[in-house]
Structure 1
């Protein structure tokens, strides 16, 4: 979806114009908010807080934290119902593939969410509306806002509408990357892969990890994630793809 020509409501737009715009977004979300302040907060990037002297808690970060957990709960429930014979390991790998930031960013684009995001001027000029990290975070924050305003069933309705087809059509590997890499290394007589945190950033409630994996005789690679486990899995995936064990991040050979 092209974003450069999107009509982007300004942070300081007249109240009625902003209200009309939010009504359009509510129609896409399938819920009319009783407390629109929740929706406004879900759409507000930290850069807009700093530049417009908003309250310190006016950004989407806390709602993103909540929405991430609500999304995982709903997807887990959907998976249990859809795959009654699947073992826990398979369910966990399907869940990981469906709740990753990239999936949330795709949903944000599909519903036209970039047009409603409130960014500071600097972030907007640097292409913030096209950054997958921001789009994924805002999508999760919107889920959090839906949950607080309408309850679990409202949030579930949004997730069902936007993730059902993804769940049905998911074609990712059913074995996790770390296990696959360890078995691949051991099958070649190599030592067990070693993982080390080489970077950590972000606030305590939303950390970002950079993990390096070393395999005997191979150049190390890194992976990023919102938990150490996620970063380790992505680092292992990078090695598997480079070595031709997997075709891509989502398709095993």
Structure 2
């Protein structure tokens, strides 16, 4: 029998959830507000929250100084390209781990995930030299490859958990009907795990979009995404907080909008198989 929850407890829980959500969202809100301030107001002490003269001058300066749309397109190509390439590799890999009996599958998964624990700076020099010698430095192709390899363990791990929730009997029935391996993966497995695949795709687009370490170290101008666009507003002359906030707002707005409209699909995929 379910335990009754009092209205008072519901109210307290809801208020606590909203308070925590506001604390998490506050840095983004502050960045957006600062982008509409003058530089003098942005560094005022004590800080001014909303009682200031609003201006869009910072956005105009950012657009004049930088080619925002080129950085935006680089981010789109790199994040979507690396995610799609990762899914092409990860779906067969996760299928083999989920449905082909093996004694050390969990050990392999743990080893793959452990590669995410390595500090990226530890392999920066060899990867930089490889990219320099192969002509991949400061190219979209190079960043797609490196971000695919970085996020591949997470993609495989997530897809593996989703595939494990699919009854093996369905795949065996497809094999008895004469389905080839390719048909089994494309026309039986993939449609059934579509919510999990969609959430994996969305999450990894966000991870690739926000990746800063590799994009800053492996690009210069041609393939620089929005993370490099933001970093360009940190100069030896100092930080211009209002202009930096405007650049940051322009960089995070697309991914925030995408996350807002896809939140139902993301939650559905992340909870796929959680309730029996």
Q: Same fold (TM over 0.5)?
A: no
TM-score, normalised on structure 2?
A: 0.25
Higher relative contact order (CA 8 A, sep 6+): 2
More helix by share: 2
More strand by share: 1
Which structure: larger Rg?
A: 2
